[in-house]
Structure 1
């Protein structure tokens, strides 16, 4: 596992607006507070989200981009990028791998945080097909694509993007987490980030209590003790 001092740039790669806030916004806030450069990359604009049809897909995408930008600011992240893939139709294609590898070579992160590519049979919410597709494509972009100068040669030839090796990946939403981050000190900012996604959570009764109970359970599993809250990840070394 990377030492804290070895993490200077972090890239999160997620499918939809709000995914990073459920899974890693507390960690992002802690990184940002230490002066770490944090970049959010979202594969879709969330155009198929929402729970009514007051907006068409284009209008929903615009709203959700704005919500994600606001959520990022709540935890100190200002670099938010969207690839514009269609919500609900993502596959781990060569095109997606190339697009993620491009951003990896641009950002040159020490750590990538993304979705677990496997289905979670204990808790289905993290297993949206887009999540699994993005997680798989992001792992492929980390290894071997971004580090291999012969992969997607147009990235180097036409865009001047040199190969980059990401030392470590943290996966969100899997069944076997082995690393927990105590986010108690930034819980208010994590909640503020999630509450920025009004289109997704305004209709959910007891939302705050439910998510806090989940984070408290992870803190208990981590051994942090009562009254603490945690985010959970599975660490993947890439050496």
Structure 2
């Protein structure tokens, strides 16, 4: 807890809202600063809605989701949704983001092959998660991308949305409620996924994500570098 600024690096709008936003709400309530940078605008994420319409709609929903947990800074890198690939360019762009925001910690995606038995993790998630881990090291090294602006910046810790967490962040009931509202802000996206009411979907997802530990609600992370 000896830090002040965290940077949430995700692939799409809604990625952080499946549980992690409860930790974000808790941190912000404690006086910490949390900023969001998303690789894409999620423009390929809503069936039947063209990317030219979906991208702006999902940006609006993500801004509402950030407002509901108190996160003020939201940026988009404008990589193509569904086509993120590991590359030197992606690592460079992420290292630039890290140097510019100078976070104490970084929160990012599960980069494993699955979210559990019978579930495949998207290439966007895997590529972004792995690239973030490399970019954290790149941002601290003055020689890997010497053309980047700003001095090297060393991140204290990286927290991964993992199915095999090593640490748990206790969260209050108020933070859980904020997280539910934050996920429910992705209204058009959730309606395209499931016919159930958006609030019901959001409640189910966030309660599951924050209720797997013992001793009250918490958010699990795999921590690297701590």
What's the TM-score once normalised by structure 1's chain length? 0.86
Whole-angstrom CA distance in 2 between matches of 1:154 and 1:66: 33
Match in the other structure for 2:87: 93
Match in the other structure for 2:105: 111
1:47-71 CA-to-partner distances (Å, cap 9, x unmatched) read: 1011323xx2121111111110110
Over 3 Å counting, the alpha-carbon distance change for 1:23 and 1:125 in structure 2 is farther
**Post-superposition offset of 1:32:** 1.1
Please tell me whether the aligned partners of residues 61 and 185 of structure 2 are also in contact (alpha carbons under 8 angstroms).
yes
Please tell me whether the aligned partners of residues 6 and 35 of structure 2 are also in contact (alpha carbons under 8 angstroms).
yes
Matched, 1:180 2:163: no
Whole-angstrom CA distance in 2 between matches of 1:175 and 1:9: 25
Match in the other structure for 1:232: 220
Whole-angstrom CA distance in 1 between matches of 2:187 and 2:152: 39
Runs of 5+ in structure 1 lacking a partner?
none
Match in the other structure for 1:192: 181
**Post-superposition offset of 1:229:** 2.8
Whole-angstrom CA distance in 2 between matches of 1:188 and 1:117: 27
Match in the other structure for 1:167: 156
Please tell me whether the aligned partners of residues 51 and 199 of structure 1 are also in contact (alpha carbons under 8 angstroms).
no
Aligned residues: 220
Match in the other structure for 1:133: 127
Match in the other structure for 1:11: 7
Whole-angstrom CA distance in 1 between matches of 2:120 and 2:222: 14
**Post-superposition offset of 1:217:** 4.0
1:192-228 CA-to-partner distances (Å, cap 9, x unmatched) read: 110110121125224145314523541xxx321xxx4
Whole-angstrom CA distance in 2 between matches of 1:208 and 1:152: 40
Matched, 1:43 2:39: yes
Matched, 1:62 2:56: yes
1:109-132 CA-to-partner distances (Å, cap 9, x unmatched) read: 111000122113625668221011
Pairwise CA RMSD: 1.8
Secondary structure, in 3 states, of the residue corresponding to 1:166?
coil
Whole-angstrom CA distance in 1 between matches of 2:99 and 2:71: 19
1:33 maps to which of 29, 36, 42: 29
**Post-superposition offset of 1:108:** 0.9
